[in-house]
Amino acid sequence: MTPKPVDFTVAAATSARGAVTVQVPGDKSISHRALLFNALALREGGGLPRTERAGVRVTGLLESEDVGRTRAACEQLGVRIVREAGGAGGEVGWWIAPVEPLRGALSIDCGNSGTTARLLVGALAGLRDGAGHPMPIAATLHGDASLSRRPMRRVLDPLRQMGARVEVGDAGTLPLTVLPAVLTGMDHTSKIASAQVKSAILLAGLSAQGPTRYTEPTASRDHTERFFAAMGADFVIEGLRSTVRPGALRPVDVEVPGDVSSAAFWMVAACLLEGAQLTLPAVGVNPTRTGAIDVLRSMGAEVTVEERGGVEPLGDVRVRCAGLRGTTLSGALIPRLIDEIPVLAVAAAFAHGETVIRDAEELRVKESDRIATVVNGLRAMGAEAEATPDGMRIFGRGGAGMRAARIESHGDHRIAMAFAVAGLRTGMQLADVACVATSYPAFFDDLRRFQAQ
């Protein structure tokens, strides 16, 4: 499954475009959780008697490398996950059902996926068997070169305070081994707004003794909380504080909406291409994820959302734009668009005026150092941009002086896709683009929709 380095040349889209519709793939964050949380509910020790553990169906799942890692890990923990094409509406469904769990030493390959690694550590830390005893497994998590550099102490430190037993090297990075332990709930205040950390601690809280309270500095994506509510967890949210009490999750069928982070590439593309009228059907519009829509509106784009309710709200998003202006991204907005910053920075480079991005030091520890990779890429294209410790400044001149360049993805899917979108205006040579498969395998097919018009 390891992607091979592949280069790709993007041809600039030429004339006015008219109507473009893109059906983006399923949401990555929700797909990971749909598999993992249902696996925890259905597996031995999940709380359900053997006779009640039938199975659940997930539709709209993102079929990508990252989600494939979570799927494989779940299968190692005692469920079978089967793809079924052609449901009632012709859609693809994934059936999750319990099987005998593995015991002893497990080796789990998390690939490039931080969400797989961090959520799994929390889920594994207090895992129980059918008799309620710590599950007799030693699970070693490992990942690719990028994931093996990313910080894990942010989850390991609080989990250890709960009693987790984890063996890890001095760097506090993968590989690490989670050993069986009995956990005790605790009150934890995090300094970073990270949904991965929050989710890991709340998952551990499900199997701890006593309540676990987790407070975050600003709101991060709340998919885990929405799943916990839908799956019957003993769970309370008060502002930025969530409290979970020990108990089982009930399995639920899930309809995964389109990924707003993937949709953001096309929203920006529509803003860069004069005359484009973009429609993105059935995109997840959970307010903890829609910062990019707010920002594009503040930059002058016309973005409308026809919203339908649900556990995870979704809606049809339409974008038209007649030129962008610079803006400021900071504070509580940042976690609501953290993954969209590379492509918003591209938008800023083609806008008129200065864009300032602050409070985004988390970008330094994503799949690449995204402050460096974005600023270096924009400069290679002739943009005026400078890195700051917690963000960047971009001086947009409406695209004047911007040119095609050769951009290294650094194995980071969102860097490859952001600069591919920039290439719709200037042309672009992208090095090492196979990484798009981690979140959006059909990205380059969809990119062509903007060129064919």
- CB-nearer residue toward ligand S3P: 253 or 362: 362
- CB-nearer residue toward ligand S3P: 146 or 199: 199
Least CB distance to ligand S3P at residue 108 (A): 17
Catalytic residue among 27, 339, 412, 446: 339
- CB-nearer residue toward ligand S3P: 156 or 428: 156
Nearest-angstrom CA–CA distance, 404 and 162: 52
Least CB distance to ligand S3P at residue 197 (A): 6
Half-sphere exposure of 354 (CA within 13 A, CB side): 5
* Beta bridge partners of residue 102, listed in sequence order: none
For the purposes of burial, counting CB atoms within 10 Å of the CB of 40, is it exposed (0-12), middle (13-18) or buried (19 or more)? buried
Q: Which residue is nearest to ligand S3P (CB)?
A: 29
Give yes or no: 339 in active site. Answer: yes
Nearest to 17, CA basis, from 269, 263, 260:
269
Nearest-angstrom CA–CA distance, 141 and 158: 18
Least CB distance to ligand S3P at residue 196 (A): 3
Token pair listed for 390: 């917690």
- Binding residues for ligand S3P, how many (CB under 6 A)? 11
- Pick from 65, 339, 412, 446: which binds ligand S3P (CB under 6 A)? 339
Q: Which residues contact 82 (CB under 8 A, 6 or more apart)?
A: 94, 95, 97
- CB-nearer residue toward ligand S3P: 295 or 321: 295
Nearest-angstrom CA–CA distance, 427 and 34: 38
Residue 223, H or E segment: helix 223-230
Binding of ligand S3P at residue 115 (CB under 6 A)?
Answer: yes
Q: Which residues contact 131 (CB under 8 A, 6 or more apart)?
A: none
- CB-nearer residue toward ligand S3P: 221 or 250: 221
Report the site for ligand S3P in 130-159 (rule: CB under 6 A).
none
Instruction: List C-alpha distances in Å: 177 to 196, 241, 331, 367, 389.
Output: 18, 29, 35, 22, 33
Nearest-angstrom CA–CA distance, 160 and 60: 36
Binding of ligand S3P at residue 196 (CB under 6 A)?
Answer: yes
Binding of ligand S3P at residue 70 (CB under 6 A)?
Answer: no
Nearest-angstrom CA–CA distance, 48 and 329: 45
Least CB distance to ligand S3P at residue 167 (A): 23
Binding of ligand S3P at residue 293 (CB under 6 A)?
Answer: no
Nearest-angstrom CA–CA distance, 88 and 86: 7
Least CB distance to ligand S3P at residue 4 (A): 23
DSSP per-residue letters across 338-385: GGGHHHHHHHHHTSEEEEEE-S-GGGGGSSS-HHHHHHHHHHHTT-EE
Report the site for ligand S3P in 17-36 (rule: CB under 6 A).
29
Least CB distance to ligand S3P at residue 17 (A): 29
Q: Which residues contact 98 (CB under 8 A, 6 or more apart)?
A: 42, 43, 44, 46, 53, 55, 78, 79, 80
Taking CB under 6 A as the rule, which mask of x and - marks residues 214-233 in contact with ligand S3P? Answer: ------xx------------
- CB-nearer residue toward ligand S3P: 10 or 201: 201
Q: Which stretch binds ligand S3P (CB under 6 A): 138-146, 168-176, 189-197, 350-358?
A: 189-197
- Pick from 56, 195, 248, 418: which binds ligand S3P (CB under 6 A)? 195
Binding of ligand S3P at residue 256 (CB under 6 A)?
Answer: no
Q: In Å, how far from its chain's centre is CA 18?
A: 30
Least CB distance to ligand S3P at residue 113 (A): 9
- Pick from 129, 302, 362, 384: which binds ligand S3P (CB under 6 A)? 362
Binding of ligand S3P at residue 194 (CB under 6 A)?
Answer: yes
Q: Which stretch binds ligand S3P (CB under 6 A): 2-10, 94-102, 193-201, 393-401?
A: 193-201
Least CB distance to ligand S3P at residue 238 (A): 21
Amino acid at 319: V
Binding of ligand S3P at residue 438 (CB under 6 A)?
Answer: no
Residues that bind ligand S3P (CB under 6 A): 29, 115, 194-196, 199, 220-221, 338-339, 362
Q: Active-site residue numbers?
A: 339
